[in-house]
Amino acid sequence: MAVDQLDATFAALADPTRRAILKRLKSGEATVMELAAPFEMSQPAISKHLKVLERAGLISRGRDAQRRPCRLEPGPLKAATDWLENYRRYWEEQYQRLDALLDVLKEET
Amino acid sequence: MTVTITTPSPTELAVTRSFDAPRALVFDALTKPELLKRWLGAQGWNLVECTVDLRVGGAWRFVSQGPGGAKMGHGGVYQEIEAPSRLVYTESYDDQWFEGEALITASLTETAGRTTVHTVLRFESQEIRDVVAASPMESGINYGYARLDDVLASVSKAG
């Protein structure tokens, strides 16, 4: 995966409102109005977040000119989690060794 | 118990993991050279040098040795120490496989004899953070050796 795409994905995911929007979209498409409802935020503010998500490829917008419903695009999200998985495994390996040591130390004390 | 990785901000990575041990013991394992030498390093790599000057402004330095005798040194300076709950320090590598310094904050919380270690690594830019996370930190190479280690260990036990 291109670094630019990852940068865009992670920059988009760094914001809690945008993560909440993605979570909401997991249960299906929604319009800007529907998405704005649970947040104490104006529609333009939500639209700005949606643009960031759209640029990062995390959502797509429907063709319907009136509603333009937002839809979750799982591809980049999967790529981002796969990319972190490498790193997770590295720490897992280290910490398994720490587990073993802690077991020994607990017996000693 | 599995490691959870999150990206709290564009320049940070956070690593969370629980351990079945009291906090004081885990803190010791993170800061005492004789204990660090017994676990730190991905499989196939071991700490061969480990010095820790555990006070604010004190330096730490680790050298790991890996497959084929390859050596990797890294170190930094302690910024905050609140045993056994919090440790803040800088880290950089001799061979600079990422630019600049990382600032590492480890928080330890204990519940019913179990300790959760939450480590936040802050890098100087998102680009550096992304390079670090994308690198399997040479563990790809080590996987083969790690499996071999396990096989040898089980064979020698069986024998």
Does pLDDT of B118 surpass 90?
yes
For chain A, how are helix, strand and coil distributed in percent, rounded to 5? 70, 5, 25
Phi, psi of A29 (to 5 degrees): -60, 155
Give yes or no for a contact between A74 and A57, defined as CB atoms under 8 angstroms apart. Answer: no
Does pLDDT of A4 surpass 50?
yes
- Which among B42, B5, B38 has a CA at the least distance from the CA of B139? B42
Residue with tokens 């930190």: B137
The residue among A54 and A10 whose pLDDT is bigger is A54
Q: Which residues of A touch B40 (CB under 8 A)?
A: 94, 97
- Which among B66, B47, B84 has a CA at the least distance from the CA of B139? B66
- The Cα diameter of chain A in Å comes to 70
Containing structural domain, residue A23: 5-108
Does pLDDT of B154 surpass 50?
no
The residue among A77 and B50 whose pLDDT is bigger is B50
Domain count, chain A: 1
Cα B40 to chain center, whole Å? 6
Q: Which residues of B touch A84 (CB under 8 A)?
A: 5, 7, 133
Helix (H) or strand (E) holding B95, with range, is: none
- Interface contact B17, partner A, CB < 8 A: yes
Q: Which residues of A touch B120 (CB under 8 A)?
A: none
Give yes or no for a contact between A102 and B29, defined as CB atoms under 8 angstroms apart. Answer: yes
Q: What is the mean pLDDT of chain A?
A: 85
Give residue B147's pLDDT band: very low, low, confident or very high (50, 70, 90): very low
- Which among A57, A35, A58 has a CA at the least distance from the CA of A45? A35
Give residue B144's pLDDT band: very low, low, confident or very high (50, 70, 90): very low
Note if the bond before B84 is cis, omega within 30 degrees.
Answer: yes
The confidence score (pLDDT) of residue A12 equals 85
- Interface contact B3, partner A, CB < 8 A: yes
Give residue B135's pLDDT band: very low, low, confident or very high (50, 70, 90): confident
Does pLDDT of B103 surpass 90?
yes
- Its CATH class, for the domain covering B4-150, is alpha beta
**The one-letter amino acid at A104:** V
Q: What is the value of pTM for the model shown?
A: 0.72
Q: What is the mean pLDDT of chain B?
A: 83
Integer Cα distance of B3 and A96 in angstroms: 10
Taking residues A16-33, what's their average pLDDT?
Answer: 88
Q: Which residues of B touch A90 (CB under 8 A)?
A: 42, 136-137, 139
- To the nearest 10°, the Cα dihedral for A63, A64, A70, A74? -40
Give residue B101's pLDDT band: very low, low, confident or very high (50, 70, 90): very high
- C-alpha angle B50-B51-B54 in degrees, rounded to nearest 5: 130
A41 by Cβ neighbours in 10 Å (0-12 / 13-18 / 19+) ranks as: middle
- Interface contact A2, partner B, CB < 8 A: no
To probe the interface with A, which of B4, B34, B39, B149 has the most A CB atoms within 10 Å? Answer: B39
Write the CATH number for A47. 1.10.10.10
CA distances to A27, A78, A105, B85, B142 from A101, in Å: 43, 34, 6, 19, 20
Give residue B151's pLDDT band: very low, low, confident or very high (50, 70, 90): very low
Taking residues A13-24, what's their average pLDDT?
Answer: 85
Chain B nearest-CA residue for A82: B134
The confidence score (pLDDT) of residue B150 equals 44
